[in-house]
Amino acid sequence: MKPPPFEYFRASNPEEAVAALGAHGGNAKLIAGGQSLMPMLNFRLLEPELLIDISKIASLKRIEKGSSGRWVIGAGVRHRDILVSEVLGNSYPILRAAMTHVAHVAIRNRGTIGGSLAHGDPAAEWPMLALLLDAEIEVLGRSGQRMIEAKDFFLGALHTSLSEDEIILAIHLPPAPVAWGFFETARRAGDFALAGAGVLLETQNGKISEARIALLGLGETPIRVYDAEAKLEGENLNSTNRAAAMEAAKAACQPMTDLHASAEFRVHLAGIMTGRSLDAAWGQAIC
Ligand SMILES: Cc1cc2nc3c(=O)[nH]c(=O)nc-3n(C[C@H](O)[C@H](O)[C@H](O)COP(=O)(O)OP(=O)(O)OC[C@H]3O[C@@H](n4cnc5c(N)ncnc54)[C@H](O)[C@@H]3O)c2cc1C
């Protein structure tokens, strides 16, 4: 299928992109890597009159450490850039692990973080990672710049709190526990996951001092399993609290049945993926 006709404008900075978005009042779309937008145009799910190309905006490609110790990753950074970034690999090794599950090499070479966050697919890796890492998303619109916490950003499937005239500038990552686990199940390598879980653990004196668990593909948005996190803190990982965390993950998700898997199977996977990710993170934490 071919896309509907559209006008094309290449923005040279975020301000130009915002002005063009504002001038078209909902009839314009930003295009970054095009890996989600072009299929939507080809299927005529969207028919914008203008595409605003932001792929050449240099300020969107930064990866830098801010003065507060937070890493700032520009919206135009591609999935592949994360895979090969040594500094991010050291501070957030889960990012590199998760990126290997994003689609295929050709898509990872073009697809961007900003595109993934703005697209807001609950089965995608970046929305789950943003929630797991307590990220903040920096956006610019006609009314100025604002920061949106990841927990307030994803409102539903393909639905975020971005306004029509806003562009994502960057994702800000605070320091996070380094011990990680990440597992997902897909029918074929490169497909969107049926279900997945990411875990981060920090330990002190052999006990869990901080636990984070997030799920993907298991509801309308990515999900944090706050109940289970609180119960793990102050303890070793053992068969009792591991089983309780798996049950909490299953209870937290609300997946749909579709052509690929039933809701029941996805709930089952939520438990399994959580258990495996906990094991992996705990194994690293106590080494
Ligand atoms: C076959 C296939 C398999 C895939 N599998 C996976 C997978 O397993 N996991 C996964 O996570 N992803 C997967 N993807 C999606 C891929 O990761 C995309 O790259 C990503 O979702 C969108 O990034 P993009 O840069 O291509 O965005 P685009 O397609 O250019 O844009 C997507 C949306 O985001 C908006 N947008 C883009 N940039 C910004 C910005 N800076 N600010 C505000 N809005 C913006 C656009 O207007 C559009 O609405 C797959 C895609 C395909 C085609």
Tens of pLDDT, residue by residue over 224-254, are 999 999 999 999 999 999 999 999 999 999 9
Q: Whose CA is nearest to atom 32 of ligand 1?
A: 115
Question: What are the sequence ranges of the domains in the chain?
Answer: 7-53, 58-173, 179-285
Tens of pLDDT, residue by residue over 142-159, are 999 999 999 999 999 999
Tens of pLDDT, residue by residue over 171-229, are 999 999 999 999 999 999 899 999 999 999 999 999 999 999 999 999 999 999 999 99
pLDDT tier at 287, thresholds 50, 70, 90: confident
Cα 184 to chain centroid distance, Å, stands at 14
CA-to-CA dists, residue 108 to 33, 100, 177, 180, 253, angstroms: 9, 9, 26, 22, 27
Q: Which residues line ligand 1 (CB under 6 A)?
A: 29-37, 39, 54, 75, 102-103, 107, 110-112, 114-116, 118-119, 124-126, 162, 167-168, 192
Ligand 1 atom nearest residue 169's Cα: 41
Q: What class, spelled out in words, does domain 7-53 have in CATH?
A: alpha beta
What secondary structure letter does DSSP report for 3? P
Q: Which CATH number fits domain 58-173: 3.40.50.150, 3.40.630.30, 1.10.3720.10, 3.30.465.10?
A: 3.30.465.10
Q: What is the CATH number that goes with domain 179-285?
A: 3.30.390.50
Ligand 1 atom nearest residue 78's Cα: 25
Tokens of 98: 């998760």
Sequence-separated (6 or more) residues with CB below 8 Å from residue 107: 33, 35, 79
pLDDT tier at 66, thresholds 50, 70, 90: confident
CA-to-CA dists, residue 42 to 1, 19, 39, 122, 124, angstroms: 5, 26, 5, 21, 20
Tens of pLDDT, residue by residue over 97-116, are 999 999 999 999 999 999 99
- Taking 80 as the threshold, does the pLDDT of residue 268 lie above it? yes
- Taking 90 as the threshold, does the pLDDT of residue 1 lie above it? no
Percent of the chain with pLDDT over 70: 100
**Averaged pLDDT of the chain:** 97
Ligand 1 atom nearest residue 103's Cα: 5
The string of DSSP letters for 251-275 reads: HH--PPP-SS--HHHHHHHHHHHHH
Pairing state between β 50-53 and 7-10? parallel
Tens of pLDDT, residue by residue over 76-85, are 999 999 999 9
- Taking 90 as the threshold, does the pLDDT of residue 25 lie above it? no
pLDDT tier at 260, thresholds 50, 70, 90: very high
Pairing state between β 167-173 and 71-74? antiparallel
What is the mean predicted confidence (pLDDT) over 22-26?
93
- Taking 90 as the threshold, does the pLDDT of residue 67 lie above it? no
